[in-house]
Structure 1
């Protein structure tokens, strides 16, 4: 309880920006989704590089869709029923093809809270993602309703309906490789569009954005980043799209995420060895490069509170 109260106090102490003063601030009920074609038949919808907030409609995720020539594949459905509906309308502005496959890359709410808009198709995900969405969906909904209010109206957590097995899948002109990794969550789905040369890395990779860690296992995450780098090299993909942060780029986002996780893990391990308490760790300065990333300071504070107790326990055992 003391940890939670301390986090709340630190969060409330942060200055709250005035929505009217922010350029590009959104107002319900319009996410202003604008599909951007990043390869032939592959379209991107880029979210804000920020934390959940009313000013961005809780839209902090990069979603995408692929017009395969034999139906549309949707990658992530966004943070709300409204987003899913507007995503589907955005798809219809560039193709008349029906939606054939909907993929949720992990169990976090902005990956699957738009699933209501695809009830006729039903979303697909790895088995662990389905279990996690069922287990935590109600708590996610409570949190996002509290954070983003009217943007969430009518949203109910609808877990993905179909379990996926890793492997290759050819749909129309596109060959997709579905790869199961882990570490960011228990089941992290990576989609490699080998035809377009694009890797959709999900939550394993963050570009210029503090990673989220509520389900993180740092050791396994780092191992998955190594495997992801090897996959990127082997596939010859030209783009790596993370689910959070600026969408377009390549392997530098893997290096950014790896560097941050290694730095964070070393900081927490050293602080625990020194016997520092949580308040002291939260007050330690952050390198200037990370201080400029999206979702600072809120996500960094959550990183510490998620991960530091395990380091304290390990230090006590030593």
Structure 2
């Protein structure tokens, strides 16, 4: 009997003849849809929780928390998510929750899981620090390529859109809501946290992670810990981390700082002992990190990020020798 598919045909179909039985018309795959579930924090404030995973084709890159605030002038968003489709779903949700158009969209930093949903919004409504906009310009195309590889078809049609409004630190009154921008750095060279004076909620962006290991591709660990110390001094009713659950405590601030101190010490000690990267990656993590999602994964990534920094700082340059 002649086989239904040659090996080449099977591979082109994703390695399985089951692809032939897809209910979608040929050439028209069912588009991915983000199912956003808002959690109400208080009157007029909601958060959609990101998945406590790495970016992949299951979650479509939707791993970051995104906030929606109501105001008399319109909806205020904090971050736009990983793709055009996410941004469109977010805009629809914000309009449904508030019954109003979008008044302002803040971006906390330039990482792709927080800003590739920008396409759904008027660029004049998008606001970020100058450092974040500069980072988007510098890394945006590379981020786009890596997101397409990691998240696949979720990213279809997604392109980089830059904010037109620059956040400079002065309090911003939007309708009946006043937001105080807090310009910091550490997770990236330019991080924006926002304090809502009406509710006392602190939106910390990726300066704070809770029960999910922090990412460090553009981190300055010491600056980051200084920013966390400043955040912990703010008397907030709740803290919304960039990743992880919302809590009315500083547990996320303390946990993030402890994680940064732990990995910085481990990686620095491994470097001083002369371990190479492959040896440093295999070091055991302390027991307290067992409850932290992606602890091993992010530790290994941090070794790759931070080892070159130790080398640059502590190894002599041959071309500078007399």
TM-score with structure 1 length normalisation? 0.86
Is 2:167 aligned against 1:164?
A: yes
Distance 2:300 2:277 in 1: 10
Q: Secondary structure at the match of 1:297?
A: helix
Q: 2:36 aligns with which of 21, 33, 42?
A: 33
Q: C-alpha displacement at 1:37, in angstroms? A: 1.6
Query: What is residue 10 of structure 1 aligned with on the other side?
Result: none
Counterpart pick for 1:88 among 87, 91, 104? 91
Q: Partners of 2:232 and 2:48 in 1: how far apart?
A: 24
Aligned partner of 1:242 in structure 2 is: 241
Partner of 1:72: 75
In 2, the alpha carbon distance for the partners of 1:289 and 1:81 equals 38
Counterparts of 1:284 and 1:296 in 2: how far apart (Å)? 12
Give, in angstroms, the shift of residue 315 of structure 1.
4.4
Residues 79 and 108 in structure 2, CA contact (< 8 A), matched pair in contact too = yes
The whole-number CA distance in structure 2 between the counterparts of 1:110 and 1:126 is 17
| Match in the other structure for 1:154 | 157
Structure with more relative contact order (C-alpha pairs < 8 Å, separation 6 or more): 1
Q: Is the 8 A contact 2:74 2:98 kept in 1?
A: no
Secondary structure of 2:260 counterpart: helix
- After TM superposition, give the deviation of residue 53 of structure 1 in Å: 1.2
- Partners of 1:306 and 1:70 lie apart in 2 by 43
Give yes or no for the alignment of 1:100 onto 2:103: yes
The aligned counterpart of 2:12 is none
C-alpha deviations, 1:9-57, integer Å up to 9, x for none?
xxxxxxxxxxxxxxxxxx9522110222211111111111111111111
Aligned to 2:118: 115
- Give CA-to-partner distance per residue, 1:127-150, whole Å, 9 cap, x none: 000011011111001001001111
Give the stretch that moved more between structures: 73-82 or 158-167.
Answer: 158-167
Look up the SS of the partner of 1:36 in the other structure: strand
SS of 1:56's equivalent?
A: coil
* Equivalent-residue separation in structure 2 for 1:296 and 1:143 (angstroms): 22
Shift of 1:216: 0.5
User: Deviation string for 1:142-171 (max 9, x for gaps)?
Assistant: 001001111111101112222111021222
Q: 2:232 aligns with which of 206, 229, 234?
A: 229
The secondary structure found in structure 2 opposite 1:142 is helix
Change (3 A) 1:145 1:288: same
Whether contact under 8 Å (1:62, 1:247) holds in the other structure is: no
1:130–1:161 CA contact under 8 A, matched in 2: no
Give the direction of change, closer, same or farther, for the CA distance of 1:314–1:211 in structure 2 (3 Å limit): same
Query: Offset at 1:249?
Result: 4.2
Decide whether the 8 Å contact of 1:122 with 1:160 is kept in 2.
yes
In the aligned structure 2, how far is the partner of 1:160 from the partner of 1:297? 35
Q: Which residue matches 2:251?
A: 252
Unaligned 5+ residue runs, structure 1?
1-26
CA distance in 2, matches of 1:313, 1:275: 15
Q: Is the 8 A contact 1:181 1:187 kept in 2?
A: yes
Q: Which residue number corresponds to residue 288 of structure 2? A: 289
Q: Residues of 2 paired with 1:113 and 1:247: CA distance?
A: 23
Match of 2:193 in 1: 190
Check whether the contact 2:210–2:243 (CA below 8 A) recurs between aligned residues.
Answer: yes
Counterpart-to-counterpart distance in 1, 2:300 and 2:197: 38
Q: Secondary structure at the match of 1:228?
A: helix
SS of the residue 1:216 aligns to: coil
**What number of residue pairs does the alignment pair up?**
287
Q: How big is the alpha-carbon RMSD for the aligned residues of Structure 1 and Structure 2?
A: 1.5
Matched residue SS, 2:171: strand
Choose from 126, 138, 141 the match for 1:138. Answer: 141
Residues 120/126 of structure 1: CA separation in 2 closer, same or farther (3 Å cut): closer
Question: Normalising to structure 2: TM-score of the pair?
Answer: 0.85
Match of 1:311 in 2: 310
